[in-house]
Every structure is written in C-alpha cells, then in structure tokens.
C-alpha cells in the first residue's frame, strides 16, 4: 500500500551508548539488548546514505520541510565534529533540492558547556534536555554508571545553555507519586518556557508499579489525577506560564485541530528511527515490548525510507491511531485519545489490540480538560465549534463500563 504522505522527520541515533544509566531507560533497562550489537557512533558512510535516502524521499513525496532529531544513547558522545558535518551536509544537500531542514538534539545535558552551546547555536540546533525535577527526585532515576545522581551536572548544562541563549525545551518523565504542582513550580523557577512530561513506558505485560499494587479501574486513576492537578494549576496560571506540549496538543484537538502526535489523536505518525548501524525502526518506546522487538531487517544502506513505511511494525506504528481495538472504536473520546500511544497497548496475548494501559487515566483527563475549556467559552462559541460537553461517566458508558 502506498502512503500519500511521506515522513516529517527522522530520529537519528547518532550514538548508541550513554554516559548515564537511568533506571527506566527503554534503551538499556527494559529488556531490549539489541544496542550491544550497534556501532557506538554512526559512521560517516551511514550518514551519507541517510542524507541520500532522505533526498530521494523528499523528492518522491514533494516534501519541503524535514526535521532531524539527533538522539541516543547520549547524542553528544558523537562529538562536535560529527554534529558540524551532519548539520552542514544535511542543510546543504537537502537545501539544494529546496527542502528546509530543522535539527534538534535530545540530551541528558551533562556534557553541555559553553563550547557545545556556541556550536549548537551556530548550527541552529535546538536543544531538548531531560530533567525529571528537583535533585531529590531527578537523582532517584537519572543516575550515572556508579549510581551517583546526575542532577547537578544536568543543571550546570542547562545554565550554560541559558547563558548562551540557546533554544531549549525540557522533557521530564512523569511520576504519578510526585506532586505535579511542585514539579511545575520547579521548572517555572528554572525559567523553562517549553516543557513536556512523558507518560512512563508501560503496557499490559509490564504494568506501572502503581498498577501492580492496585489494579487500574474507573475510580483508581493516579496518572490521570496527576495530570488533572497539573492541568488545573497550569490553566489558571496567568503569569508567564510555560508551554506544556502534551496539554497544548490536547487543547488543540478538543477545539477541532488535529494536532495529534505519537501519543494521541487521529493523525499518522510520520517519524521513524534510524539506529547507528542505519537500521530503520518504529518508535523507540516499542523496545519495551521485548528483546529485538523493533528489528524488521530494513536498513538505510539497502532500502528506501518508503520501504520502511510498509514493514509490519512500522506500518502499524504509523497508522496506530486508526488501527484501534474494538473498545477504542466504540469510545466516545477516540478522536482525541486515538487509543493512546501504541506502545502502551501491547500485551494480554493480543499484540496491540487493546485499549491503553492508561485508558481510564486518559479518559478522565481528556473529559476533564474538555469540560474546563467549555467552562471558559461562551454558549455561542460552543455551538459554533460544535462542541459537546461529555462527562467521564458518559465516556465510561460508551465503552460499557
Ligand atoms: S480512552 Fe480508552 S477506550 Fe477510549 S480511545 Fe482512549 S484508550 Fe481507547
């Protein structure tokens, strides 16, 4: 089957190892050992194939904008020269066929110093830094190989990037046992303007700790409750509030703009992963489904990017918001939820044909946000936008719970 739209971008694993060892890491600590067989850093030859195949893909699908997210492991381990060569080649060669290239890097921040900041600024590379909260929280999860906390070094990297006026976003893995207000105030205090919280990587065969202790149910929704507290606090914050990507996207979708992405909505997923050996894969989060789970034998050196779009797992990932379990199909909020992230649906002997392991959390959260938004709109706007108020109980009713 040919896809009408090409890719929006690639997550490029430029380094397969990391200088730290976070407890929850899907690369190294979720049962997937495939990283051990990968080159530590992507070779020049693989980069050349990658750019050549991206050029062909952009020509084929008439793409005018393309994004590379440099990722790892810890991507800065690839070194400054790698970054310089990559950015220059990508921009020159794709620019020559009229494609505008955006580049970002997602790092743990530890290696960031003034030298890196100057280089990333010169190359117009945006920086995403992973920070899980204040030191006493961050250091529980984000430790080095000697089990030392990494917070102080990460914050030093953040401060260096702020001093050099780099374009920075912060990614934080949420922990539903934390206090979301404390987290929000902490990041705001760090002067973070662009923030996001990631749902932890779990599915029906690898349940979140909280659901091992007590089964998820319509009345036990710790993840949804965490987000609701955060949303209410953020929504009512009238002073210099940061953008929280997940909440922004939910709001847009409720208002009828399909700003969907990997986690929610109805849009196709238009990003793929390239490993350091050139292997093309679906979402990294799917590594948590088993050892070698994401390997489909498709490599940038031997295949076209469009071949990857039809490989079974990548195809399923791409169409994950359309390939829904029966429960999700009948759910009244499926247009916004989209069944959640595909990796969170895995298990029960049914592959991905399940609702999300966070189903009740998502349902409670999304109906809550919708109703808080409607509270702020006039009756006329609600009528014109064809919005309908829906309670959590209504949504539960739609899936016969
Ligand atoms: S709320 Fe649950 S049933 Fe509804 S679409 Fe999302 S995961 Fe599926």
Residues 108-125 pLDDT 10s: 999 999 999 999 999 999
Q: Is the CB of 313 under 6 A from ligand 1?
A: no
Q: Report the alpha-carbon distance of residue 259 to residue 255 in Å, rounded.
A: 10
94 and 198 together in one domain: yes
Give the pLDDT band of residue 354 (cuts 50, 70, 90): very high
What DSSP designation does 170 have? E
Which residue of 322, 325, 337 sits with most ligand 1 atoms within 8 Å of its CB, as the best mutation to test the pocket? Answer: 337
Of 26-30, 61-65, 194-198, 339-343, minimum mean pLDDT range:
26-30
Q: What pLDDT sits at residue 3? A: 64
More confident residue, 153 or 289: 153
10 Å Cβ neighbour count for 1?
6
Please count the structural domains in the chain: 2
Q: Which is it for the CA torsion 348, 352, 355, 356, positive or negative?
A: positive
Which residue of 366, 399, 400, 401 sits with most ligand 1 atoms within 8 Å of its CB, as the best mutation to test the pocket? Answer: 399
10 Å Cβ neighbour count for 48?
14
For a pLDDT cut of 70, what percent of the chain falls above it?
97
Q: Per-residue pLDDT averaged across 262-269, rounded? A: 90
Q: Is the CB of 341 under 6 A from ligand 1?
A: no
Q: Per-residue pLDDT averaged across 131-146, rounded? A: 93
Q: Report the alpha-carbon distance of residue 269 to residue 175 in Å, rounded.
A: 25
For a pLDDT cut of 90, what percent of the chain falls above it?
80
Which residue of 327, 360, 365 sits with most ligand 1 atoms within 8 Å of its CB, as the best mutation to test the pocket? Answer: 327
Where among 318, 344, 373 does a domain terminate? Answer: 318
Residue with CA at minimum distance from ligand 1 atom 6: 339
Give the pLDDT band of residue 38 (cuts 50, 70, 90): confident
Q: What pLDDT sits at residue 2? A: 55
pLDDT at 176 over 80: yes
10 Å Cβ neighbour count for 299?
18
Q: Is the CB of 354 under 6 A from ligand 1?
A: no
Domain membership of residue 37 (yes or no) is: yes
95 and 119 together in one domain: yes
Q: Is the CB of 370 under 6 A from ligand 1?
A: no
Range of the domain at 234: 9-318
Q: What pLDDT sits at residue 27? A: 66
Where among 318, 346, 369 does a domain terminate? Answer: 318
Could you report the per-residue pLDDT of 69-87, keeping only the tens digit for each? 999 999 999 999 999 999 9
Q: Is the CB of 142 under 6 A from ligand 1?
A: no
Q: Per-residue pLDDT averaged across 258-276, rounded? A: 88
63 and 172 together in one domain: yes
Q: Per-residue pLDDT averaged across 218-225, rounded? A: 98
Q: How far apart are the first and last CA of the chain?
A: 37
279 and 213 together in one domain: yes
Q: What pLDDT sits at residue 385? A: 80
Q: Is the CB of 334 under 6 A from ligand 1?
A: yes
Q: Is the CB of 264 under 6 A from ligand 1?
A: no
Q: Per-residue pLDDT averaged across 52-62, rounded? A: 97
Q: Is 114 helix (H, G, I), strand (E, B) or coil?
A: helix
């Amino acid at each position: 089957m040919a896809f009408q739209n090409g890719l929006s971008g690639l997550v490029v694993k430029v380094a397969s190892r990391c200088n730290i060892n976070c407890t929850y890491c899907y690369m190294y600590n979720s049962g997937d050992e495939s990283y051990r067989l990968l080159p530590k850093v992507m070779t020049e030859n693989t980069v050349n194939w990658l750019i050549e195949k991206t050029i062909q893909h952009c020509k084929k699908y008439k793409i005018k904008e393309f994004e590379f997210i440099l990722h790892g492991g810890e991507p800065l381990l690839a070194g400054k020269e790698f970054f310089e060569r990559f950015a220059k080649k990508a921009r020159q060669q794709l620019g020559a066929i009229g494609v505008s290239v955006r580049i970002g890097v997602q790092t743990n921040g530890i290696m960031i110093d003034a030298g890196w900041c100057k280089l990333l600024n010169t190359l117009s590379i945006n920086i995403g830094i992973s920070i899980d909260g204040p030191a006493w929280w961050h250091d529980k999860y984000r430790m080095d190989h000697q089990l030392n906390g990494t917070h102080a070094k990460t914050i030093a990297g953040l401060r260096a990037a702020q001093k050099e006026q780099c374009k920075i976003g912060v990614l934080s893995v949420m922990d539903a046992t934390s206090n979301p207000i404390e987290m929000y105030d902490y990041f705001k205090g760090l002067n973070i303007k662009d923030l996001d919280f990631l749902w932890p990587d779990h599915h029906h065969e690898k349940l979140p700790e909280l659901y091992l202790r007590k089964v998820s149910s319509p009345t036990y929704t710790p993840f949804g409750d965490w987000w609701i507290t955060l949303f209410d606090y953020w929504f009512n914050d009238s002073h210099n509030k940061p953008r929280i990507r997940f909440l922004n996207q939910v709001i847009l979708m409720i208002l009828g703009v399909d700003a969907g992405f990997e986690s929610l909505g109805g849009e196709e997923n238009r990003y793929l992963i390239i490993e350091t050996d050139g292997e093309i894969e679906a979402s990294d989060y799917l590594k948590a489904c088993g050892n070698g789970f994401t390997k489909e034998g498709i490599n940038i050196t031997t295949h076209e990017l469009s071949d990857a779009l039809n490989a079974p797992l990548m195809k399923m990932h791409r169409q994950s918001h359309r390939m829904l379990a029966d429960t999700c199909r009948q759910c009244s909020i499926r247009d916004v939820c989209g069944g959640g992230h595909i990796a969170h649906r895995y298990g029960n002997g049914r592959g991905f044909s399940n609702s999300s392991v966070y189903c009740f959390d998502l349902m409670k959260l999304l109906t809550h946000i919708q109703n808080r938004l409607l509270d702020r709109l006039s009756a006329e706007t609600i009528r014109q936008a064809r919005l309908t108020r829906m309670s959590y109980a209504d949504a539960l009713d739609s899936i016969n719970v």
